[in-house]
């Protein structure tokens, strides 16, 4: 047996703690607004990210670009998809439109994380472009209201959660390369922001993510390229009541949307981007927008504007705790089919992981929120028996 293999077999036989013990949150310390709920814009086939080939757009001398359907991974993919849109715009300017950026008007429809990041990346690439962001959640005075979007609700873990399954195509193994490319592009932007030392302004923080060893971590294992986040380490979990429980740890990032979204709005204002209150109802209305390039970043709203989007709302609830001890780790991939996660953010701690195929936001009881909270509390009090792994239903193998 080689030295490396011997060392690895010893590590498995004699697992070491994954680090010094970390504090457990006070699960009874609920934040003032402790119940949150949102609808993930899940799309069969993955993110709709391309240029519309319709004859009506060519006739109108317009370019219509789509960027919607990010499911539970929009915070993760926003910069990557924005970078891809920038490439589409670059090509359109040089070919179909044959115009310089200075003479080009772009309308970005949608002011969630996808619309804001798309507008911001376009202005960073070509400051001469005239960019307007249009959305329902802009007030009459032109002030965007990011608090009213799904993006605001997101926990903010950097991982292509659940959506990665749409890229797992056994007949077309390269499809995962498309997702990996988008993750890499987002990662590149994170690194640029970090190099400038302004990551805190964008809600970005380094985080270690801990999971139970026998949990389904395919989202990380398959959806995250290893050059972005290296393989997980195995060992004993560094929490008092879990200190004999086998787990895994890997480095990733938190991108807190409650910090990121206002920052993107202020970047756009500083770059002279105008916000306009506008509700689009049909494809014809979209194409009629007075701009050369129209980018549809309306999330779930796209299903009301266009036929056949493949969008499905998936409801997720969050319980918010106070983070008085400034805890700074993530715990996710817990509880098998009763998925559970907990993200310690800059100012709060969010517990989530519910995955309900419904668009109904009303009628959620306090009990349903507190049950989620108690599930994670249970894990952290050492009761992991309810959290044994269940087989993934998205795998290609039987
Ligand atoms: C509970 C929960 C937890 C999550 N956690 C994470 C996470 O940890 N990591 C992660 O990466 N992602 C996470 N997500 C997913 C993430 O929130 C979404 O993928 C992302 O917010 C989608 O962004 P968006 O800009 O497409 O949509 P939205 O934020 O919904 O924005 C859509 C915009 O379009 C506008 N609009 C819609 N329809 C129209 C119309 N007809 N006319 C004009 N404007 C319109 C809206 O007003 C809004 O401005 C989570 C989601 C939920 C619900």
Task: Write down the pLDDT at residue 332.
Answer: 85
What is the per-residue pLDDT for 172?
Answer: 83
Q: How far apart are CA 224 and CA 240, in angstroms?
A: 29
CB-defined site of ligand 1, < 6 Å: 38, 40-41, 68, 70-76, 109-115, 135-137, 149-151, 153-157, 278-280, 297-301, 304-305, 316, 318, 352
User: How far is ligand 1, taken at its centre, from the CA of residue 297, in Å?
Assistant: 9
Closest-CA residue, ligand 1 atom 21, reads 151
pLDDT band at 390 (very low <50, low <70, confident <90, very high): very low
**pLDDT reported for residue 13:** 67
The alpha carbon torsion through 131, 276, 260, 52 (nearest 10 deg) reads: -60
Instruction: For residue 41, give the 3-state DSSP assignment.
Output: strand
Mean pLDDT of 122-141: 97
pLDDT value, residue 393: 39
SS3 content of the chain, % helix, strand, coil (to 5): 35, 25, 40
142 conformational bin, left if phi > 0, alpha if psi -120 to 50, beta if neither: left
User: Residue 391 above 50 pLDDT?
Assistant: no
List C-alpha distances in Å: 124 to 23, 49, 76, 255: 41, 20, 19, 20
Q: What is the pLDDT of residues 58-113, one digit of tens each?
A: 999 999 999 999 999 999 999 999 999 999 999 999 999 999 999 999 999 999 99
> In terms of Cα–Cα distance, which of 41, 44, 47 is closest to 85?
47
- Whole-structure pTM value: 0.94
Residue nearest to ligand 1 atom 1, measured at CA:
316
Confidence of residue 290 (pLDDT cuts 50, 70, 90): very high
Separation CA 349–CA 398 (nearest Å): 37
Does pLDDT of 4 surpass 60? Answer: no
Q: Which of 107, 118, 121, 135 maximizes ligand 1 atoms within 8 Å of its Cβ, making it the mutation to test the pocket?
A: 135
- For ligand 1, the distance from its centroid to the CA atom of residue 26, given in whole angstroms, is 30
End-to-end CA distance of the chain: 33
> What is the average per-residue pLDDT within 321-336?
87
Which of 43, 70, 254 to probe ligand 1 with, by most ligand atoms within 8 A of CB? 70
Residue 250 has pLDDT above 80, yes or no: yes
Mean pLDDT of all residues in 124-131: 98
| Centroid of ligand 1 to alpha carbon of 137 (angstroms) | 12
Phi, psi at 156, each rounded to 5°: 105, 20
| Ligand 1 centroid – CA 153 distance (Å) | 8
Instruction: Spell out the alpha helix ranges (H) of 327-380.
Output: 366-380
Range 280-299 average pLDDT? 97
The per-residue pLDDT for range 296-328, each reduced to its tens digit, is 999 999 999 999 999 999 999 999 999 999 999
User: What is the residue with the minimal CA distance to atom 18 of ligand 1?
Assistant: 74
Task: Classify 34 as helix, strand or coil.
Answer: strand
What local confidence, expressed as pLDDT, does residue 340 receive?
A: 85
The per-residue pLDDT for 335 is: 59
Mean pLDDT of 190-200: 98
Closest ligand 1 atom to residue 137 Cα is 47
| CA 228 / ligand 1 centre spacing (Å) | 24
In this predicted structure, what is the pLDDT of residue 219?
Answer: 87
**DSSP letters for 49-92:** EEE---HHHHHTT-EEEEEE--GGGHHHHHHHHHHHHHHHHHHH
Q: What integer is the mean pLDDT of 122-147?
A: 97
Domains in the chain, CATH or no CATH each: 18-387 (3.30.9.10)
């Amino acid at each position: 047996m080689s030295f490396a293999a011997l060392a690895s077999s010893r590590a498995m036989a004699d697992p070491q703690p994954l680090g010094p013990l970390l504090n457990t949150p006070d699960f009874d310390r609920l934040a003032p607004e402790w119940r949150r709920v949102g609808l993930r814009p899940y799309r069969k086939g993955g993110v709709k990210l391309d240029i519309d080939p319709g004859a009506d757009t060519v006739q109108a001398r317009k370019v219509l670009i789509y960027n919607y359907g990010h499911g539970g991974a929009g915070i993760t993919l926003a910069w990557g998809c924005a970078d891809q849109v920038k490439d589409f715009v670059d090509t359109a300017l040089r070919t179909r439109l044959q115009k310089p950026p200075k003479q080009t008007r772009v309308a970005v429809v949608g002011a969630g994380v996808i619309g804001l990041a798309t507008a911001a990346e376009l202005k960073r690439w070509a400051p001469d472009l005239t960019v307007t962001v249009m959305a329902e959640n802009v007030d009459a005075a032109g002030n965007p209201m990011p608090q009213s979007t799904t993006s605001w609700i997101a926990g903010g873990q950097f991982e292509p959660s659940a959506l990665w399954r749409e890229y797992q195509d056994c007949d077309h193994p390269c499809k995962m390369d498309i997702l990996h490319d988008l993750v890499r592009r987002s990662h590149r932007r994170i690194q640029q922001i970090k190099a400038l030392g302004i990551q805190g302004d964008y809600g970005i923080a380094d985080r270690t993510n801990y999971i139970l060893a026998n949990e389904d971590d395919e989202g990380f294992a398959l959806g995250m390229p290893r050059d972005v986040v290296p393989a997980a380490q195995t060992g004993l979990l560094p929490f008092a009541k879990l200190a004999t429980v086998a787990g895994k740890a890997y480095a990733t990032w938190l991108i807190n949307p409650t910090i990121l979204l206002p920052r993107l709005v202020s970047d756009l204002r500083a770059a002279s981007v105008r916000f306009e209150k506008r509700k689009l109802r049909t494809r014809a209305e979209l194409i009629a927008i007075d701009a050369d390039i129209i980018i549809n970043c309306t999330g779930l709203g796209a299903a009301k504007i266009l036929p056949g989007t493949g969008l499905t709302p998936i409801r997720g609830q969050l319980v918010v705790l106070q983070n008085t001890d400034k805890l700074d780790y993530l715990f996710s991939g817990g509880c098998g089919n009763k998925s559970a996660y907990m993200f310690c953010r800059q100012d709060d701690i969010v517990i989530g992981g519910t995955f309900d195929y419904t668009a109904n936001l009303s009628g959620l009881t306090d009990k349903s929120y507190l049950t989620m909270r108690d599930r994670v509390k249970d894990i952290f009090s050492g009761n992991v028996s309810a959290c044994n792994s269940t087989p993934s239903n998205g795998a290609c193998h039987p």
